[in-house]
Structure 1
């Protein structure tokens, strides 16, 4: 072959294809880098927009109203789906439980409006009276002929087709009154005497009345309110550990002294040993969650509510959510309660009123902790305690009181200093004017006491 006929390396058909491949590969890498940079820029713009939105004065109010609306609507839908079979079996109509829930929701909206509209200083002034009323009702419900026994517990007042459980408002009353007392002592909370008295003895009296019903679930919720009050008020860690340990020991003792509670603990410790006995409900809940998979079997298409899972529309409604809406629906519920935790603590940290700060933090901790306990025993991480999923489970008194708590949180969001400035100077908007909400007043700290007014400690 002559030199002229020789082909230089990298030329010819094979060389041309290799060169073309190299060019295409380089173009692909540049295109990938461009796409990656574009995605990063989009994420950066989204993060900047979110940060700017979170800095707006009324963001806390919009967040708490959004969570409240979504949880309430979602709860009504799921109660209708989960209770339809049991309603048809017991009352001949698929809508009987749902109708009662809607009626209680209407009452709850009125109570929510009261919590949203009432002035914080007025609510604080009323807190001792509310606590006394709740204590009297808790004592009265134990009297035969006044209280009604349901599910082995004398914890209800029955008024025609409606029933009222005084243990539910007692939790909120303790939060309001306890915050009132502890805020006055916030500078001496490091002393055990001032941290304990009189909040802990009063809480123990309420807990004793609840145990006498007996209602262990509400007692646990009351304990959560007490621990949250002391924690956010600045009590010593050793005191909190001692109280939490004492409360846990008391719950174990109470759990072992009653047959049905003991069977719940035993079935939890030996899960799967007797799936048709005491562990039947927990086992069926896990089957429901497993059947749901990622996307669920479809809203209203669940099988567990066909007499397989007791209390499907009440304590175990999260299992129905997992079955019908799958992991996506269950995760949405968890996300909403996570947003509630963030928003409630955000309102607490941004409030100028120390009493509102403590109330908001305590109410948030109570609702989120109760949701965590309910979901925990549905998925098998905790023994069954009978606590409801706030705003989602069927239950009139719980729904109404939780709505009032959301109203207080929304009221506190309107009283954030920046929100007060915007609402008083820029106008409250059409909805606030329609609801006739008063313009929020800025917080004014009480005048310092003179030396003659101070009491020696």
Structure 2
């Protein structure tokens, strides 16, 4: 008990160099402890040697899993029912806030030199941004039906304002152009307001006339004439850049409405030729184009702005000179806070800042097209896609001429450039996109099924209503199908007592016509692609149990044909040929006896009066004991179903 444990330097070592207790090398506990200590030390050295490789493998695995984790997070975010709505709100806030910061930085020097305050232009931009948020909220709240109802009056008011701004004394003349109204110190540009009105009215017009085989006149009139009138009024201001945006709106509307590619290409080529002519007609425009092409090399002339923008971008480098530290805004670059604000972004925030702006607009484009793709309402689909194309096209045209890929046109960078009316209208468009996002099917189910969120209750947002066709739209679709032989069938008469035959329509094509008594006539019948059908057996047709001329029917879900001599209502399924009659849908339209009266005991009698014991009698007065009688009054109660569009319900 009183023995002292020797220190490590006092303990003798055995032959293996392992110290033993009391210097005794035996099989006792000291030796065992020494050997186990040696093993532990060796294990520790081995673990220490393997630690770098294991940590490197873990780091590589973590690095490899980072993209997968990010992708999973993005998928989870986009799978939410309100993802589009939340993303469009986020992007609107980010772009508006970023634009206000850059306007303050880019306009401080010019504002101080002109007005004696570095915050003058920034304060005006803040006022229009606040007004834009109010308009954003109103566009978010407005019902879709009310929006469509006031689309045409809003377009009329916008055109009237475009005409009034050209009147001297009413419109304000600035820098040789008459484009603005000045109201209590705030300038309003009607050509910006007409963009929103044209997007809404054009989408409403084309959605009201949607058809698979719509004629060119229905697609182009009155959209193109009204757009040409708007372009004429804007050219008289003059304002070629806004004319280009109007052409972009009309082109997007016609593209998404289904204009044939050849016609669309001809319109696009005509628009480009007209734009070139207008650009070369005016002196300063032609100088800009020639300077872009390299034919004019005058550093102080038409190419001055583009050259200074290039210098600003080169001065920024990769990381930029710092926010607020730009030198180009010290009256070296004209309109630095407006048309060329992207050059100030590139100088102060560098290449990374410019790429960040491009990334924000790419994300906005994805969100806009996602909303358009997921919308079930044709009006919202057209409007969302057109608004997205307009905003993204303006952004990339502005970035293109700042970096030298396009000639200078004067189109602003949406929500980033200084411009009150432009900010107001872009926020209104984003509000319409947010409204369309709330009307996605999944969003409607979520907002109507559960309790509203705290933000929705605070903002008093109305519950969205699921899209449903109006009576006028449903009636128009039926008339279009009947007129053009849309998703319907055609009756083709059989010859030589061969009974009913079947002819299918190619998908997306017109229904085949048939010979019916007085020459070729098309009989529209219900048609459903890929449905199960039946037909009268051949032996029944030979016994005269079919119509005298027969009738081809195609596109039914399922039918059964009764036989004579059997119990009333008992049916025997026939084979599955190429066509049949859809008695669940019934016939539409009024017709006459094209096939004669059937006298058989069973079987279908197209367009004639049947007198058999059972079986359907389309468009005739049936007296059988069972079977539906479309468009006819059944003489006896139906054992298998109710009469269709006759005495029963449709």
TM-score above 0.5: yes
Q: Distance in 2 between matches of 1:150 and 1:425?
A: 54
CA gap 1:27/1:420 in 2 versus in 1, 3 angstroms: same
- Match in the other structure for 1:437: 461
Matched, 1:310 2:334: yes
Q: Alpha-carbon deviations, 1:272-325, whole Å to 9, x = none?
A: 822221100000001001111111101100000000000000000000000001
Q: Distance in 2 between matches of 1:51 and 1:30?
A: 31
Matched, 1:449 2:500: no
Which SS does the other structure have where 1:93 is aligned? coil
Matched, 1:333 2:348: no
Larger radius of gyration: 2
Q: Distance in 1 between matches of 2:483 and 2:379?
A: 23
- Match in the other structure for 1:68: 92
Which SS does the other structure have where 1:149 is aligned? strand
Unaligned runs of 5+ in 2: 1-46, 485-650
- Match in the other structure for 1:293: 317
Which of 223, 226, 230 is equivalent to 1:206?
230
- Match in the other structure for 1:362: 386
User: CA offset at residue 225 of structure 1?
Assistant: 0.4
Q: Alpha-carbon deviations, 1:134-155, whole Å to 9, x = none?
A: 0111111111111111222111
Q: Distance in 2 between matches of 1:108 and 1:148?
A: 23
- Match in the other structure for 2:271: 247
Between the two structures, name the one with larger relative contact order (CA 8 Å, sep ≥ 6). Answer: 1
Which SS does the other structure have where 1:208 is aligned? helix
Q: Alpha-carbon deviations, 1:250-269, whole Å to 9, x = none?
A: 11111111111111111111
Matched, 1:43 2:67: yes
Which SS does the other structure have where 2:150 is aligned? helix
The answer as to whether partners of 1:190 and 1:236 remain within 8 angstroms in 2 is no
- Match in the other structure for 1:427: 451
The answer as to whether partners of 2:180 and 2:189 remain within 8 angstroms in 1 is yes
CA gap 1:271/1:88 in 2 versus in 1, 3 angstroms: farther
CA gap 1:199/1:300 in 2 versus in 1, 3 angstroms: same
Which SS does the other structure have where 2:279 is aligned? helix
Q: Distance in 1 between matches of 2:307 and 2:467?
A: 52
Which SS does the other structure have where 1:449 is aligned? helix
1:209-220 mapped onto 2 (5 Å cutoff): 209-220=233-244
The answer as to whether partners of 1:189 and 1:195 remain within 8 angstroms in 2 is no
Q: Distance in 1 between matches of 2:298 and 2:245?
A: 29
User: CA offset at residue 46 of structure 1?
Assistant: 2.5
Q: Distance in 2 between matches of 1:428 and 1:152?
A: 52
Which of 257, 266, 275 is equivalent to 2:290?
266
Q: Distance in 2 between matches of 1:189 and 1:367?
A: 30
Which of 264, 280, 298 is equivalent to 2:304?
280
The answer as to whether partners of 2:125 and 2:419 remain within 8 angstroms in 1 is yes
Which SS does the other structure have where 1:393 is aligned? coil
Unaligned runs of 5+ in 1: 1-22
Q: Distance in 2 between matches of 1:200 and 1:414?
A: 31
Q: Distance in 2 between matches of 1:70 and 1:306?
A: 27
CA gap 1:189/1:375 in 2 versus in 1, 3 angstroms: farther
The answer as to whether partners of 1:221 and 1:366 remain within 8 angstroms in 2 is yes
The answer as to whether partners of 1:271 and 1:279 remain within 8 angstroms in 2 is no
Q: Distance in 2 between matches of 1:189 and 1:141?
A: 40
User: CA offset at residue 191 of structure 1?
Assistant: 3.1
The answer as to whether partners of 1:108 and 1:401 remain within 8 angstroms in 2 is yes
1:2-21 mapped onto 2 (5 Å cutoff): none
Which SS does the other structure have where 1:157 is aligned? strand
CA gap 1:120/1:271 in 2 versus in 1, 3 angstroms: farther
- Match in the other structure for 2:526: none
Q: Distance in 2 between matches of 1:271 and 1:338?
A: 34
Q: Distance in 2 between matches of 1:160 and 1:54?
A: 44
Q: Distance in 1 between matches of 2:438 and 2:59?
A: 43
User: CA offset at residue 162 of structure 1?
Assistant: 1.0
Matched, 1:257 2:281: yes
The answer as to whether partners of 1:272 and 1:283 remain within 8 angstroms in 2 is no
Q: CA RMSD in A?
A: 2.0
* Aligned residue pair count: 435
1:37-436 mapped onto 2 (5 Å cutoff): 37-188=61-212, 191-270=215-294, 273-436=297-460
The answer as to whether partners of 2:290 and 2:296 remain within 8 angstroms in 1 is no
